[in-house]
Structure 1
Amino acid sequence: MHIHTSFSPCSNINIHHLLKRAVEIGIEGICITDHDTTAAKKVIVDSIDKYGICVIVGIEYTTSKGDFLIFGPVESLHSGMTIEEIFQWTNKEGGIAIPAHPFRKSRPVDINILPFFEVVESSNGRNSAFENNLCNEWILNSGNNYRGIGGSDAHTLDEVGHIVTVFKNNIYNCEDLISELHKNTFSPKIYLR
């Protein structure tokens, strides 16, 4: 649920190589979340039929309170939005915003805003085990019904699929993804490759 391509300045992953790799390791769907851009959508359209997997393009949106994985009609987002504006956008547009790597030592999400989200990225492939454990402990101890997703946060091909989110129901498009994220029918899974 959290993969970067060469459209992010920090990644060198070619989209065609990404899709081929996902198929090779048995992943049925991926979410591309480049930093503050949806440019991957232009390339994906021609690739989906060739590889036969579900590809959803979201965005990793940067704010002063942390980074957020956002899914929905993300083209209508504009730069510099506040957390309040992102909440308004998700309510109006039917999207969803997920705090990315909230307990990471570098670039953490402001912990004071976490209670406003129903889903958080609890397992991130670029976090340390300690950082992921902090988030999972926070979820368990919160007393609320927070749900955690897993994301590889892949910036290189060999990182793809290290941490994934397994859904009980099939996902065919972004609307399905958002619907399932509002339910408790998924869990993060760590693969040691």
Structure 2
Amino acid sequence: MQIIRGHYLKMLIDIHVHSDNSSCSVMPASEIVARARSLGLDGVCITDHDTTAVLSQIQEGFQPDGLLVLVGMEYSTDEGDFLVYGDVESLVPGMDGRALLTSVIETGGAVVAAHPFRGWRPSDTGLFQSYPPSAIEVVNGRNTEAEDAQALELACHLALAHVSGSDAHRFDELGRFPTRFTCPISDRVDLVNALRQGMCRPGVLRSAALASAS
């Protein structure tokens, strides 16, 4: 995190990361925490699929190396997948998209529409007109450029905040597409407020991340 005259110039947090508590990931939570700072991240939010089991394996908050570690959840519904931040421990399982969006916002959380145009698991984006999420993931590490372009067009059309996420399941994916926050983040409350107030934007362009990996 860079600080100029007491102001935060940037804070890069990868807000879409899966530990091996998600069956699709090979990354132990302890290793995510150990490696993330060296990748240039200021923070990482572990968002496993429909579980907060990782809370028993890590300590949230700032780590000795300065990395901020937070826990969210990727919540699956028939209307799409949603990244949820805030009091994720209290989420009721089995909600549909409408109930989830309503519940999270009413209880003071933040919800991001994850990869809404992914070809094999698209979201019901018509839902967002009446039940808008806090933000839309317009850059996703596992999306195609075309899928991201559709997400960006939707976010602009609905005037919703833009975020990016690595959707990391392997260590070579971790930290590639963080979100840049323009305000200090020190806990879940700060993260929720920043997302709800739109104090965020994609931190790395897809072309730059792909070039650095080649």
Q: Could you say which TM-score interval applies, normalised by the shorter chain? A: over 0.9
Per-residue deviation at 1:155? Answer: 0.3
* Correspondence for 2:182: 168
- Is 1:58 equivalent to 2:72 in the alignment? yes
Equivalent AA in structure 2 for residue 168 of structure 1: T
Give the alignment of 1:34-73 within 5 angstroms.
34-45=48-59, 49-73=63-87
* Correspondence for 1:81: 95
* Correspondence for 1:130: 146
Q: 1:180 aligns with which of 189, 194, 205?
A: 194
- Is 1:4 equivalent to 2:24 in the alignment? no
What is the CA–CA distance in structure 2 between the aligned matches of 1:10 and 1:36, rounded to whole Å? Answer: 12
- Partner of 1:2: helix, strand, or coil? strand
Per-residue deviation at 1:114? Answer: 2.5
What is the CA–CA distance in structure 2 between the aligned matches of 1:83 and 1:119, rounded to whole Å? Answer: 15
Larger deviation: 50-59 or 1-10? 50-59
Give the alignment of 1:12-31 within 5 angstroms.
12-31=26-45
What is the CA–CA distance in structure 1 between the aligned matches of 2:174 and 2:90, rounded to whole Å? Answer: 28
Q: In the alignment, is the contact (CA less than 8 A) between 1:118 and 1:145 conserved in 2?
A: no
What is the CA–CA distance in structure 2 between the aligned matches of 1:91 and 1:150, rounded to whole Å? Answer: 20
What is the CA–CA distance in structure 1 between the aligned matches of 2:86 and 2:43, rounded to whole Å? Answer: 16
* TM-score scaled by length of structure 2: 0.84
Per-residue deviation at 1:47? Answer: 8.8
Per-residue deviation at 1:175? Answer: 0.2
Q: In the alignment, is the contact (CA less than 8 A) between 2:52 and 2:89 conserved in 1?
A: yes
Q: Structure 2 vs 1, CA of residues 92 and 55 (structure 1 numbering), >3 Å: closer, same or farther?
A: same
Show CA shifts across 1:118-148 (max 9, x none): 41111100001111111112223x1x42111
- Partner of 1:182: helix, strand, or coil? helix
Q: Structure 2 vs 1, CA of residues 46 and 85 (structure 1 numbering), >3 Å: closer, same or farther?
A: closer
* Aligned-pair identity (%): 37
What is the CA–CA distance in structure 2 between the aligned matches of 1:49 and 1:166, rounded to whole Å? Answer: 20
| CA RMSD after TM alignment | 1.7
Number of residue-to-residue matches in the alignment = 191
Q: Which has the higher helix share?
A: 1
Equivalent AA in structure 1 for residue 80 of structure 2: G
